[in-house]
Structure 1
Amino acid sequence: MSELDAAQWDACANPQPGEDSIVVDESPAADATTDACQSEDALKERFNPFIRHAFLKALETSGSVGPKTGWTVTHVIVEDDKGKIVAAAPSYLKTHSMGEYVFDYGWADAYHRGGLKYYPKLQVCVPFTPATGRRLLVLPEAGEPAQHALILGLRTWREKIGASSIHVTFPTKAEWDAMGKEGFLQRTGQQFHFINKGYADFDGFLADLASRKRKMIKRERKDALQNDITIELLTGKDLKEEHWDAFYFFYTDTGSRKWGKPYLTREFFSHIGESMSEDILLVMAKRNGRYIAGAINFIGKDALYGRNWGCLEEHPFLHFEVCYYQAIEYAITHGLSRVEAGAQGEHKLARGYGPAITYSAHEIADPRYAHAIDEFLQKERAYIDEANEEYAEHVPFKKGG
């Protein structure tokens, strides 16, 4: 990223002016089950912090990605005849499948059992970030020709470097559709997002819930702050190195237990604190004068993205308060249309987060494996659709509300 012009990259990633904001389509046709669910084309986005030049550069300069981590940087760009970037794809040559949140270990195993090499593969994504956003970053005036050239560039580069496949993870629905027309295999996944239906405040959100769920959340929020626990919300110039020191300790403790080795380095947090502090919300819990837990969120123009959490002390419901309820309250207060709280977590459903579909697109070079994987994905998509409908029947909102 240090070799690429930041302004040109960002003009492709988050073009301005961004008049299209997130719109939640609450019409019966768009949502036959519940207005807590998102229709496939309902959401648009003006600004995504993860595809900023500053964020991707911080990953590189901090050593969070690079050859030693199995994430060799190999961004693909399209330039016009004057050398200006008109399209770009954040891309990495991967020697493993960790840190992606779209699991293809079974595919790698099938390659291995067939005597073939699955790695390296070409990954188009934001590392360690299961949040939907643009992956084919195209300058608006460059349009479809630039997008087509970018896809052609990815295919040409995959062939040149001898990668087995291309994987575009957590793209937008529009990109997913476009790549499907280009011959990519299509995959879906499941997350849980909070949708802000124009609530005036957190109490307005609670009033929209069924009585039992409303009482449960009130009790959990009260119990979470027992033992003299207080909550601090930090963003912008309020973020200091002492906060990153404390949070990184939480993060590494959680990461060590979940993955064996945390993905992000301590330097990464200092870099983003310097270059994009206005895009960050750090929620910190404090007791007896010291920080005991925290969660980092990134702020878009329309969405709040919950990312990492960690703690030193275990307290009932503190995780829900720091990660979910504080995020909902912040989104409502600041007029954000949704909260994406990361991968997995059926427990989010009872706390106001509804089911949402995520997307990925894959091109497998070997036609034999491509055919087998395509058959699997057709069945998997049907299962995801069924699960999404079932989850929608169990959202905690009032019936008919």
Structure 2
Amino acid sequence: MNIEVHSSMDAIPVAEWNALISGNYPFLQHAFLRALEKFSCVGAHVGWIPRHLVYSKNNQIMGAMPLYEKHNSWGEFVFDHAWADAYQRYGVEYYPKLVNAIPFTPASGQRILLNSENDKETARLLVAAVNTLVNEGNYSGIHSLFPATKDFAILNQQQAISRNDCQFHWYNQGYTCFEDFLGRLKSKKRKNIKQERRKVADAGVKIRRLDGHTASADDWHDFTALYQKIYDRKYGMPAFNQAFFMEVARAMPDQIQLVLAARDRHCVAGALMYCDDATLYGRHWGAEHYIDSLHFEVCYYQGIELCIEKGLQRFDPGAQGEHKIARGFAPTRTQSLHWMAQSPFTRAIAQFVEREQSGVQRYIDAVSAHSPYNRDD
């Protein structure tokens, strides 16, 4: 029996790691995590330092957890800046901390990898090892971000503080085509979507859907430039780069969906999505300039069509965006877990989260009242 902490995916056997992943979840694939490291999307320079936990028995990996040592709260999408500020004001170190998460990826999914789904002993050993790592490394705590419901139940140990948030996801109700989906909507919402799609077509925009097999180097160059332009304008430094996108497309070609929009043969917008056996994940968007309704077409309607065509059950288009409700997306609860190590603020944080939970539930109830679907649906 052996538990190790690895600072590089290169030290972990590809086939053994991937064998632990459920349903081909894309963001835990060895190739995805390795490309983050290889092309400097993570590392000390951005405050995401790999500390992957691996449990082996008889030279066979039995379980693992993706872990990162964090020296900031950038790219987590579960906001704890107020907690960090409180620590700083009272002269207590909040960083470094550990996160059990996928960098820059607010997509719920597997956070503890087990050789057998019912292997409670391996799960117990991994959780105990994380707690030991927190204490020995003088981390302020461990934060599990966007765990799937099954993993949430495994990781929700004593003393953990549970947080909720809300995203907007689309669910496939056995639709046969996009028109079938539209037919389930209230007439006003259906008419609005048709108008938005017509505006894009009337603007002379042509849409191409590509995967890792069909997207060329020029396509990735165009998309990366558009993606980085959005970050330069709105968010600051982009987390990903063209080399990363091309490497992941090469290694996981069937799990990549690249939607590009062109006008007069010039690429003006694009969206990158990933898929597993059941879900499509919208991840990145970029545009050269504003074209009415183009964002909705590229990021939402093309994704819905892809889900229907591929028989995928759910479309997770990313964080935030109440405007998604009118376009067929439903409020969906997301979760996170937080263990604070010997913190004088544990009780205060727990009280903060308790009030926050009530607010999140009121928000979900409020937006649910604006469902675009006919009452029978």
Is TM > 0.5 for Structure 1 vs Structure 2?
A: yes
Corresponding residue for 1:21?
none
Output one character per residue of 1:197-243: Cα deviation in whole Å (capped at 9) or x when no partner. 00010000000000000000000011022221100000131011111
Distance 1:257 1:123 in 2: 28
Q: Does 1:283 align with 2:259?
A: yes
Distance 1:11 1:382 in 2: 39
Select the residue among 21, 26, 29 that pairs with 1:49: 26
AA aligned opposite 2:73: S
Q: Does 1:384 align with 2:360?
A: yes
1:130 offset after TM fit, Å? 0.4
Distance 1:292 1:67 in 2: 34
The answer (yes or no) to whether the contact 1:86–1:142 under 8 Å persists in 2 is: no
Q: Does 1:228 align with 2:204?
A: yes
Q: Where do residues 169-184 of structure 1 align in structure 2 (5 Å cutoff)?
A: 169-184=145-160
1:385 offset after TM fit, Å? 1.6
Q: Where do residues 171-250 of structure 1 align in structure 2 (5 Å cutoff)?
A: 171-250=147-226
Corresponding residue for 1:364?
340
Distance 2:134 2:201 in 1: 52
Corresponding residue for 1:26?
none
AA aligned opposite 1:56: L
The answer (yes or no) to whether the contact 1:58–1:272 under 8 Å persists in 2 is: yes
> Equivalent pairs: percent with the same residue?
38
CA 1:83–1:367: 2 relative to 1, 3 Å: same
1:360 offset after TM fit, Å? 0.4
The worse-fitting range, judged by mean Cα deviation, of 347-356 and 134-143 is 134-143
Q: Does 1:78 align with 2:55?
A: yes
The worse-fitting range, judged by mean Cα deviation, of 135-144 and 117-126 is 135-144
The worse-fitting range, judged by mean Cα deviation, of 272-281 and 366-375 is 366-375
Select the residue among 47, 64, 79 that pairs with 2:41: 64
Distance 1:208 1:168 in 2: 37
1:77 offset after TM fit, Å? 1.1
Distance 1:353 1:382 in 2: 22
The answer (yes or no) to whether the contact 1:364–1:370 under 8 Å persists in 2 is: yes
Q: Where do residues 235-314 of structure 1 align in structure 2 (5 Å cutoff)?
A: 235-314=211-290
After TM superposition, the score normalised by the length of structure 2 is 0.96
Gaps of 5+ in 1: 15-45
Q: Does 1:134 align with 2:142?
A: no
The answer (yes or no) to whether the contact 2:18–2:29 under 8 Å persists in 1 is: yes
1:380 offset after TM fit, Å? 1.1
Select the residue among 6, 11, 25 that pairs with 2:19: 11
Output one character per residue of 1:136-155: Cα deviation in whole Å (capped at 9) or x when no partner. 11111671111111111111
CA 1:358–1:141: 2 relative to 1, 3 Å: closer
Gaps of 5+ in 2: 1-8
Output one character per residue of 1:106-133: Cα deviation in whole Å (capped at 9) or x when no partner. 0000000110110111011000100000
Distance 1:108 1:226 in 2: 49
1:289 offset after TM fit, Å? 1.1
Q: Does 1:336 align with 2:344?
A: no
After TM superposition, the score normalised by the length of structure 1 is 0.90
Select the residue among 122, 128, 139 that pairs with 1:163: 139
Match of 2:192, SS? helix
Distance 2:45 2:35 in 1: 16
The answer (yes or no) to whether the contact 2:212–2:250 under 8 Å persists in 1 is: no
The worse-fitting range, judged by mean Cα deviation, of 93-102 and 147-156 is 147-156
Output one character per residue of 1:143-189: Cα deviation in whole Å (capped at 9) or x when no partner. 11111111111111111221111011000122223333333110111
Output one character per residue of 1:269-323: Cα deviation in whole Å (capped at 9) or x when no partner. 1211211111100000011112110000001110100000001121000000000
Q: Where do residues 311-326 of structure 1 align in structure 2 (5 Å cutoff)?
A: 311-326=287-302
The answer (yes or no) to whether the contact 1:89–1:124 under 8 Å persists in 2 is: yes
The answer (yes or no) to whether the contact 1:239–1:277 under 8 Å persists in 2 is: no
The answer (yes or no) to whether the contact 1:170–1:359 under 8 Å persists in 2 is: yes
Corresponding residue for 1:154?
130
Distance 1:136 1:228 in 2: 47
AA aligned opposite 2:43: G
The answer (yes or no) to whether the contact 2:170–2:315 under 8 Å persists in 1 is: yes
AA aligned opposite 1:235: D
Match of 2:289, SS? coil
Aligned residues: 369
Output one character per residue of 1:25-49: Cα deviation in whole Å (capped at 9) or x when no partner. xxxxxxxxxxxxxxxxxxxxx2311
Match of 2:176, SS? coil
Corresponding residue for 2:72?
96
The answer (yes or no) to whether the contact 1:188–1:384 under 8 Å persists in 2 is: yes
